[in-house]
Chain A
Amino acid sequence: SQQGEEDPQALSIQEGENATMNCSYKTSINNLQWYRQNSGRGLVHLILIRSNEREKHSGRLRVTLDTSKKSSSLLITASRAADTASYFCATPNQAGTALIFGKGTTLSVSS
């Protein structure tokens, strides 16, 4: 079963523009993570935000978490062609031993 649902499913923007992806989840969480996947390859961990945090930054990435709405957003500023990838939000299972992923947002950045 999937915990997170990303929105939109697909996003096409021009280089230099900002990209915003949203994730909604169903049950209470301790943390939420965002991963990137290039062309069906391995996943790269981008950022982890804990339930007591509202916002976190890492380079051009900004993640917010609203536990009252059970949602998170990932903002990529000044996007580049190299940001073209699929982005997934993931939350821990109850045992904290595995991640539950959403279906992902496919981002396409054209130059």
Chain B
Amino acid sequence: DAGVTQSPTHLIKTRGQQVTLRCSPISGHKSVSWYQQVLGQGPQFIFQYYEKEERGRGNFPDRFSARQFPNYSSELNVNALLLGDSALYLCASSFRPDSTSATSTDTQYFGPGTRLTVL
């Protein structure tokens, strides 16, 4: 079975530009989450989408937005790129939106990430 896929693998942009990252979840998974991982740090939560609705949002500016499509794939958009947006962007999918809760035996499955470099 295919795991979580992300595209593109690498991306180079300049300050002020806009970028769109894509994620396809594991078949049957309805929840997609996005994380940003800056070099040397752990991943930080950006968004969670479930059934095309935003279910959670981390502490990121409005320049970051996302959406989920009827086939449960998702896009993350970042506008007005800053040098500090350079990071590995990870997508994770799970069957349920509360996959990390105590009542769930579900877990999040991560994709390989998109490496974004802002010059």
Q: Check if A42 sits within 8 Å of B112, measured CB to CB.
A: yes
Known contacts A31-B102, A48-B107, A97-B98; decide if A43 and B45 are in contact (CB<8 Å). Answer: no
Q: Check if B43 sits within 8 Å of A101, measured CB to CB.
A: yes
Quick one: closest B residue to A29, CB to CB?
B102
Q: Check if A96 sits within 8 Å of B98, measured CB to CB.
A: yes
Known contacts A33-B107, A42-B113; decide if A98 and B100 are in contact (CB<8 Å). Answer: yes
Quick one: closest B residue to A51, CB to CB?
B102
**Is A70 among interface residues, defined by CB-CB distance under 8 A?**
no
**Is A103 among interface residues, defined by CB-CB distance under 8 A?**
yes
Q: Check if B58 sits within 8 Å of A43, measured CB to CB.
A: no
Main secondary structure of the interface of B (DSSP, over half): loop
With a CB–CB cut-off of 8 A, which chain A residues contact B107? 33, 45, 48
Q: 1/0 contact trace for B95-119 toward A, CB 8 Å?
A: 0011111101001111111010000
Residue of A35, A98, A99 with most chain B CB atoms under a 10 A cut-off: A98
- Considering only residues 57-116 of chain B, those with a C-beta below 8 Å from chain A are 58-59, 88, 90, 92, 97-102, 104, 107-113, 115
**Is B48 among interface residues, defined by CB-CB distance under 8 A?**
yes
Q: How large is the interface on A (under 10, 10 to 19, 20 to 34, 35 or more residues)?
A: 20 to 34
CB within 8 A of A97: which of B56, B88, B109, B112?
A: B56
Q: Check if B112 sits within 8 Å of A41, measured CB to CB.
A: yes
Q: Check if A102 sits within 8 Å of B42, measured CB to CB.
A: yes
Q: Check if B100 sits within 8 Å of A31, measured CB to CB.
A: yes
Question: Shortest distance in angstroms between B37's beta carbon and chain A's nearest beta carbon?
Answer: 8
With a CB–CB cut-off of 8 A, which chain B residues contact A95? 55-56, 98
Going nearest first, the 9 A-B pairs with the smallest beta carbon separation are A96-B101, A101-B42, A30-B102, A92-B100, A98-B45, A97-B56, A43-B110, A96-B98, A42-B112
Given contacts A31-B100, A41-B112, A98-B33, 16 further A-B contacts (CB under 8 A): A1-B59, A40-B39, A40-B88, A43-B92, A45-B108, A45-B109, A50-B102, A88-B43, A95-B56, A96-B98, A96-B99, A96-B100, A96-B104, A98-B45, A98-B48, A98-B56
